[in-house]
Structure 1
Amino acid sequence: MDKAILESELKVKDLKTVGFSIDKVCQLFFYEDRVFRAINTPYEAQVQEMFSCGMIQELIDKNLLINSWITDVKIEGFNLVVEHQRVSFWNYPYEWSFSMLKDAANTVLTISEIAQSYNFELFDVHSHNVVFDMGTPKFIDLGSFFRKDPNDGKSWTGYLSFYNAFYIPTYLYTKGYSDLPQSIQLFHGYYNEKDFFNLRFKYATFFGSWLSNLVFKFYFNARKLANARHFRVVEKFGKHKYSQYILFFKNNFQNIFSIKKARRLMKGLKNSKFDSYWMNYHNEIDPATNKRFQRITELFNTDLKDAKSLIELASNQGKFANHLLANSQIDKVIATDYDKNAVDAIYKNNKGSDNVLPLVYDFVRPNGRITDTRIQDRIKADVVMALAVTHHLILTQEIGLKHIFSILESLSDTYVVVEFMPLGLYAGDLKTTPPVPDFYTLAWFKEAFSAHFDYHLDEELEINRHLFIGKVKKS
């Protein structure tokens, strides 16, 4: 940022912001490559205390909160501005695997425990307030902290948000549901809590829906009251003729729905229980002894020697991505696959890594919310690589080559590495290999490739593998 600009006051009209959400505590602004939170006047003292008491620093030191500090930068209309470290590859909860979601949930719980030790609490704990900084989940929203009211005991006002955003989708994974958890993160209200109640407490429907509805209504409202902030309950029911009974109920039940209770729920969830087609594809692969992978590694160290970051599409368990990290100049990898179990394996092998970000991503049919930034506008790399995948997309899913190359082009800053399989769905036996269409030839692939990229080479690695390397055409 220009020093002259820093010494003056930034105008709000010159800053980008997020218009979708409303935050009482602060406003989020972006200027060039920097991220600021301008604190609203009524909350200046609270935010100052959050920093001065040591809570923010403890959260940062424990790798739970994105690095944040009070800055000297001035923004028009605000007296206090906090700056955040910018996350290099922004990601969303529907791009996480089971273990990523579970670790994000436990991160939120740990933050909440620490916050309560400083007499603060975390109340807005939806999953979109967490981001994976490579292999580590971190909380990002300072506006989600409030001073804790001593009248609220051990209750946690964030319990309901946590339950819906983290516990429900994680629970569904453990019961064998593969798509519902992702859909919940994509579509608000996609799977309502009443349906989940009936799934989790099957006995509730034993005597019919009328009893189930009655039990759920009592359960939901009791929990809602128990977790409401004390002063809110007084505001709403203070003059009610039964106010003393309402407050008695809250005071006696509020400690049930606590961080400790949420922690017990999460500990009860063990492993994800669904199978997927490609989950074991890389089980027997060792890139260190595979001639094909060795040759591609050589090309990374020669033809692509100026590249530092890599997006691997259809990475499966990420074995080759990890091999490149250890045996080439590549130092950042975004390893993606649409198979959630495969991505879970990538994450487990790279948990806490500063070099690998695993993402669930179907690159030909990407998911997203209308309010979210498109993946190609938040995640790019020097190299985009797609090995052993185009033949499946073209021959079994009828995806056009132009669409495939357009996606690769949108994600790459410089290079594209992609394999063509001239024998199509060949699996080692020519006698049982399905025939390929007449158009499906090496010349056809090379022509389409050259239309999108500055052609560098194609090389036969095996009988059914031709490797293409190109550069994104400069506009």
Structure 2
Amino acid sequence: MRDPQGNLELEERTVVRTLHAPLDNGHYLRGPGSQQLVGKGMLLDFDFCGSSNIVAERLPFVSYPHEWSAMQLRDAARLTLDISTNLLPAGWELKDASAWNVLFKGCDPIFCDHLSFQRIDSRHWWAFGQYLQHFVFPLCVARFRDIPVSASFRLHLNGLDVRRFRALMGAGIFLTRFWPLALAGGKNDGAIRQQDLAGRAGYHANLYKLLDWFLSAPEKRPASSDWTGYAAANSHYPPAARQAKRAFIGQWLNRLNPAWVADLGCNTGEYSRLALESGARVIALDADHHCIDRLYQANKGQAGLHPLVADLDDLDAGRGWAGAEFSGLAPRLAAVTKLAMMLALVHHLAISLSIPYRKIAQFAADVTQKWLIVELIDENDPLVAKLCQQRKRHPSEFPLTLQRAAFLEKFRLLDELPLPGIGRQLLVLEKNPS
């Protein structure tokens, strides 16, 4: 959208870049190198339409850096660096090293900024500072301070500048391989100058090697949270109830055969994978970035799965110019979702977050085009008592009758299953006509 070489417009199935001036015949996009990147799945396929338009596929669903886990951002960083290395022998570079130039086709990152290719005409890679702000700094604070990379991009579209990075890392950075970054950059504008890190010999190849060294820092043990072990250690379901839940949901997924499923509050993705097995494409979202990291890592190369970090009670409503440059998550979900799943979620929204049931039901109706599978929990369930105690509420405020009535205002009932041995019910619902 903001490229000085052209304007970008989103059409129903394509993305069209209208150039202010035609690209010369020797431009990288007109040569075999760009098609090799396309063939490797690194660059979004494109074609020229006349001399002034570049047309590319519009992906049906996209996620943005403020919705990624650390491993997703790391793979986006690696892709950007790998493309830069591929360009180098031909004398080309990326003029931008922005995380927003990378999209995900499922669990595979792909570069989408076709106008970012330019000839190298200087010893300096001017996108170096941007690469640090968008990739290296957020990954570093995620690793050593357990600050989600999504939080870095919620703070600012351009990730972390050097001053925020230094403040977050503190003196502890000198115990890591990232210590040179604490010495780099100007005091006023927060820019990172590559000569601060690599001296005058810092040509592109050396810079790429330096960045590769940062990215290849040995991983710590897999991070965990209160939720990453929830599915495995879950004692709320007797074996018969868990088996019945999985069989019932699998049966309805196969029966309805939705093209797209949104698994809201997916945890580490047990039912997201079940939806994948039914043939659906799945948007799996959870507020816990460690859960999404594990789901993403376990499904590398899975084109049908879109994991993302999102707080349901704090969804972004659009970012960038006029709030419309990067659309909000709710309309992106609504544009594709045929079936939404809210499993072991509603009681957390209603009790822990004090969201009224009617508003939860309205949200569900807003983000699915047709169906909803929802799990409701009886007020006598021990978990309800625990949550109510924490919030100084009483379980009698959350009866099943109130929950059912809220959802049946927006949906009609197709089927239901009381789970054996516990006070939980699964409802399969179809959205009422508008």
> Given the alignment, which residue of 303, 310, 333 partners 1:354?
303
Q: 1:308 to 1:447 in 2, by over 3 A?
A: same
Once the two structures are TM-superposed, the CA of residue 388 in structure 1 deviates from its matched residue by 0.7
After superposing the two structures, state which structure 1 stretch, 310-319 or 292-301, moved more.
292-301
Asked if 1:22 corresponds to 2:2, the answer is yes
Judge conservation of contact 1:71–1:82 (CA < 8 Å) in 2.
Answer: yes
**1:36-51 to 2 correspondences below 5 Å:** 36-41=16-21, 43-45=22-24, 49-51=27-29
TM-fit CA distance, 1:455: 2.6
The answer to whether the 8 A contact 1:422-1:464 is kept is yes
2:303 & 2:71 partners in 1: Cα distance?
A: 17
Q: For residues 94-148 of structure 1, give each alpha carbon's deviation from its aligned partner in whole angstroms, at most 9, with x where no partner exists.
A: 1111111111100100011112222110121111111111111111111222111
Instruction: Indicate conservation of the 8 Å contact 1:176/1:273, yes or no.
Output: no
1:472 aligns with 2:431: yes
* Match 1:170 to one of 121, 139, 153: 139
Structure 2: how far apart are the matches of 1:142 and 1:27?
12
Match of 1:406 among 359, 362, 368: 362
Query: What's the secondary structure of 1:36's corresponding residue?
Result: strand
State the distance in 2 between where 1:416 and 1:203 align.
48
Shift of 1:319: 1.8
- Cα 1:52–1:421 change in 2 (3 A) is same
Is residue 382 from structure 1 mapped to residue 338 from structure 2 by the alignment? yes
The Cα of 1:257 is off from its aligned counterpart by 6.3
Alignment partner of 2:409 out of 442, 448, 451: 451
Instruction: For 2:116 and 2:387, locate their aligned partners in 1 and report how far apart those are by CA, in whole Å.
Output: 59
Relative to structure 1, the CA distance from residue 123 to residue 443 in structure 2 (aligned partners, 3 Å threshold; closer, same or farther) is same
1:322 pairs with 2:273: yes
Deviations 1:361-384 (A, max 9, x none): 122221353342111222331100
- CA drift at 1:468: 1.3
1:405–1:118 CA distance, 2 compared to 1 (3 A): farther
For residue 186 of structure 1, what is the aligned residue in structure 2?
Answer: 154
* TM, length-normalised to structure 2: 0.84
- 1:69 Cα offset (Å): 1.6
CA distance in 1, matches of 2:15, 2:378: 47
AA matched with 2:260: S
Aligned to 1:94: 66
SS in 1 for 2:313: coil
**C-alpha contact (below 8 Å) 1:35/1:83 kept by paired residues:** yes
- 8 Å contact from structure 1 (residues 198, 204) kept in 2: no
1:54 to 1:465, Cα distance in 2 relative to 1, 3 A:
same
Alignment check: 8 A CA contact 2:106 2:302 kept: yes
Q: How much has 1:80 moved relative to structure 2?
A: 2.2
| 8 Å Cα contact 2:15/2:56 also seen in 1 | yes
- Give secondary structure in 1 for the equivalent of 2:312: coil
299, 304, 309: which is aligned to 2:260? 309
Q: Name the residue aligned to 1:367.
A: 316
The equivalent of 1:392 in structure 2 is: 348
Counterpart-to-counterpart distance in 2, 1:82 and 1:216:
36
Q: Structure 2 vs 1, CA of residues 425 and 394 (structure 1 numbering), >3 Å: closer, same or farther?
A: farther
Pick which of 458-467 and 339-348 moved more.
Answer: 458-467
CA distance in 1, matches of 2:182, 2:259: 57
The corresponding residue for 2:118 is 146
Residue of structure 2 in register with 1:259 after alignment = 208
Q: Structure 1 residue 256: deviation in Å?
A: 8.6
Mapped pair 1:334 → 2:274: no
User: Does the 8 A contact of 1:159 with 1:262 survive in 2?
Assistant: no
Distance 1:221 1:34 in 2: 37
Is structure 2 residue 34 aligned with structure 1 residue 56?
yes
Larger radius of gyration: 1
The CA deviation at 1:291 is 2.6
**Structure 1 residues 218 and 404, CA, compared in 2 at 3 Å: closer, same or farther?**
closer
Q: Does the 8 A contact of 1:309 with 1:332 survive in 2?
A: yes
Map Cα deviations across residues 170-224 of structure 1 (whole Å, 9 max, x no partner).
0111103234x3232123277431242365573899xxxxxx9997548999952
User: Structure 1 residues 456 and 344 mapped into 2: Cα distance closer, same or farther (>3 Å)?
Assistant: same
Question: Distance in 2 between the 1:432 and 1:399 partners?
Answer: 14
Matched with 1:106 is: 78
Match of 2:249 in 1: 296
- Taking the aligned partners of 2:191 and 2:347, their CA distance within structure 1 comes to 55
Unaligned runs of 5+ in 1: 1-20, 73-78, 206-211, 228-248
**How far 1:169 sits from its partner (Å)?**
0.5
Runs of 5+ unmatched residues, structure 2: 175-180
Indicate yes or no: 2:83 matched with 1:129: no
Partner of 1:364, secondary structure, is helix
- Go from structure 1 to structure 2 and tell me whether the alpha carbon gap of 1:184 and 1:269 turns closer, same or farther (over 3 Å shift): farther
Q: Is the 8 A contact 1:36 1:82 kept in 2?
A: yes
Distance 1:204 1:374 in 2: 35
Q: What SS class does the counterpart of residue 254 from structure 2 fall into?
A: helix
CA RMSD, aligned part only? Answer: 3.3
- Whether contact under 8 Å (1:130, 1:138) holds in the other structure is yes
In 2, distance between residues paired with 1:295 and 1:88?
A: 29
1:196 counterpart = 2:193: no
Judged with a 3 Å threshold, the aligned counterparts in structure 2 of structure 1 residues 444 and 106 are, in CA distance, closer, same or farther, namely same
Over 3 Å counting, the alpha-carbon distance change for 1:39 and 1:287 in structure 2 is farther
Deviation at 1:313, TM superposition (A): 0.7
Q: Choose the corresponding residue for 1:65, options 40, 43, 59.
A: 43
Q: Which letter does structure 2 place at the counterpart of 1:93?
A: P
Q: 1:274 deviation in Å?
A: 5.2
